[in-house]
Amino acid sequence: MNRKMGLKIYFENAQDKLPLTYKMKMLIREAVETTLDFEDFQNHCEVSVTFTDNEGIHELNKKFREVDKPTDVLSFPLFDFEGETDEPPVDEIMSNLGDIVISLERAKEQAEEYGHSFEREVAFLCVHSMLHLLGYDHETSDEDDVEMRSKQTEIMRIMGLEVK
């Protein structure tokens, strides 16, 4: 699908610890588009991506998940996909899938810990979160966890960012 007109991504930088570059925004766009294409998602859609630091994501994690510690990424889907189709109902031309919040500070720490690039880690977190926005949840069962991990691995491979 040609997503040039069918996808809007809104970026917000709510941190000042790491630079948010144009290249990083384009990587996020690629991760969103590749995930939507992989899932054969045909609707025009919007996604909001906020970049924060460990302190900011800690506050959100505590407020919305009642987990009193920082995390790497949070997903706030706007649709429950347990209806008759795999896509949300579309009453308007554009549907908002939800919000992604990524801690760039945590992504940098994890990239160093796992021995891969900061960019690869941020792309992975975006793909992971996009799958949540599309209705996947690795925390519901072992089977769901395996399915989500498999999809993440394949999407990262398509992007040329697989772990070798």
Q: Which of 92, 97, 5, 4 is nearest to 45 (CA)?
A: 97
Domain spans, the chain: 7-158
Task: Kindly give the interhelix angle for 118-133 and 22-38, rounded to the nearest 10 degrees.
Answer: 40
User: From the centroid of its chain, how far is CA 117?
Assistant: 17
User: Per the CATH hierarchy, to which homologous superfamily does domain 7-158 belong?
Assistant: Metalloproteases ("zincins"), catalytic domain (3.40.390.30)
Instruction: Return the structure tokens found at 102.
Output: 């990524």
Instruction: Please enumerate in sequence order all residues whose Cβ is within 8 A of that of 147, keeping only pairs 6 or more positions apart, or say none.
Output: 136
| pTM, 2 dp | 0.88
Please choose, from the candidates 56, 61, 41, the residue with its C-alpha nearest in 3D space to the C-alpha of residue 131.
Answer: 41
CA distance 131 to 72: 15
The pLDDT score that the predictor gives to residue 142 is 85
Please tell me which residue, 107 or 78, carries the higher pLDDT value: 107
At 84 the pLDDT is 46
pLDDT in tens, 132-156: 999 898 888 889 889 999 999 999 9
Task: Tell me the C-alpha distance between 117 and 163, whole Å.
Answer: 10
